[in-house]
Structure 1
């Protein structure tokens, strides 16, 4: 979490497994990817980037998943970290890997773009697309939303009609 590259080198030299899991089923690579963004000041950590590079050089598995099926690529996408996304994708990360909710890394970038002022989301999008990520067509989102709203309105009307048929009109 603190991002000390010297400790990573020391532990690996002492025989630590680069794909060891913590209590949340996260590997050191996934943890380093997540903590690469200091949320308070919205700055990316070069030390965490170096740790990720070191772990990849030590042959860390790039597509491991935690208990929510999030890969290190999901965590880099959540941070909108184009440096780390590039590093992971070049190491063989799957661009379309899904988490437990069926979300791909590209969807994470869409979710967080507005709250990552230091990010370069256009670079992140392009990196994922260049590595085979499925395209998302935001112009179609409104159609899905409108269809959902219309179906909910129709359900409400049906419920009202059923209620009126069950409850006789008591007015005289």
Structure 2
């Protein structure tokens, strides 16, 4: 592998690259395999196929049986050059793709390839690329729980930091994943926490994993972190709490049920929003009335202003008319006694609401009420 991030081992104008590109253009699978297996050294060499993408020309059509991503062809190469192996794996099962995380980063299909490379001496500790990510960071960013388990089993440091000061847990919580990847990411984060990952590890911006999970309104992940001791009142360098992060996201991600994240935070002791700032929250979160309801119910009494009607867009008001009518109706009346009793119990339990309220000898509906379950109207 090149010792400089600026110099590939085989530059674009080299004879090897010219022959390799010619074989790729001709779809000559044997020619491609011959060049790579017989001439490329070491195994993690950087081959510049295009000036804007060192690892693989995006237009290059790689034949399915080619060396890259094919374990059967990879093993002989590893046997020959195993002492130079130093790779990061990033894959989706059944796919063959290259990831340009660093000059020594390969995209291979399935954890079997990762296992083979590790057996031949690949390091799970070395950080690479501009972000200085370790293999565990890369697996965490993609929600690859099987790879994370493999790397941890080979001694990966669970709280190693990358160039942005992130641990693998922090990187996983901050990753923008598709909905169908959330369960896999949750398993990965649970694995990291079981292996000793710090739930409150801060990055260079003083953001915790909880800040990042809340920034994506990932309520399952937020609850997992809170159960492992994450601080619901932590502030980042900008003075934002995890609650502030989810409130900023609420209107953009209604399908993620952001009120669940708000509930989880408040039930684990998160301070609520400063009363004078509630109108700003209402303006931002009006399209998510359940968020407004959960937050509003965290105050024993909050003075409602008739001017709040002006910050609610007309189409939003009409869409959620019963709720917003019930909110504005409280401008001239105190909250009901049942709500005041709820607030008194919640104050008594403090950060333990989530743990203690389910233990009370009360019907499930009343327990949910104490835990701020939204009902669609305010009383």
TM-score, structure 1 as length reference = 0.76
- Cα distance change on mapping 1:119 and 1:138 into 2, 3 Å: farther
Are residues 1:126 and 2:259 paired? Answer: no
CA deviation string 1:2-38 (max 9, x = no partner): 2211111111111111000011000000111112633
Structure 2's unaligned 5+ residue stretches are 1-140, 281-379
User: Which residue among 140, 144, 162 is the counterpart of 1:4?
Assistant: 144
CA distance, structure 2, for counterparts of residue 48 and residue 142 of structure 1: 35
- Cα distance change on mapping 1:43 and 1:114 into 2, 3 Å: farther
CA distance, structure 2, for counterparts of residue 119 and residue 9 of structure 1: 27
RMSD: 1.8
CA distance, structure 2, for counterparts of residue 58 and residue 100 of structure 1: 28
CA contact (8 A) 1:36 1:45 kept: no
Are residues 1:49 and 2:189 paired? Answer: no
Are residues 1:135 and 2:272 paired? Answer: yes
CA contact (8 A) 2:142 2:177 kept: no
CA distance, structure 1, for counterparts of residue 261 and residue 194 of structure 2: 23
2:61 corresponding residue in structure 1:
none
1:80 corresponding residue in structure 2:
217
CA contact (8 A) 2:143 2:181 kept: no
1:162 corresponding residue in structure 2:
none
Q: Please list every run of at least 4 consecutive aligned residues from structure 1 whose deviation after the TM superposition is greater than 2 angstroms.
A: 137-143
> Which has more radius of gyration?
2
1:13 corresponding residue in structure 2:
153
Are residues 1:27 and 2:184 paired? Answer: no
Higher relative contact order (CA 8 A, sep 6+): 1
Aligned residues: 140
CA contact (8 A) 2:165 2:204 kept: yes
Shift of 1:117: 3.0
Structure 1's unaligned 5+ residue stretches are 144-172
Q: Secondary structure of the equivalent of 2:142?
A: coil
User: Which residue among 104, 122, 129 is the counterpart of 2:241?
Assistant: 104
Shift of 1:59: 1.1
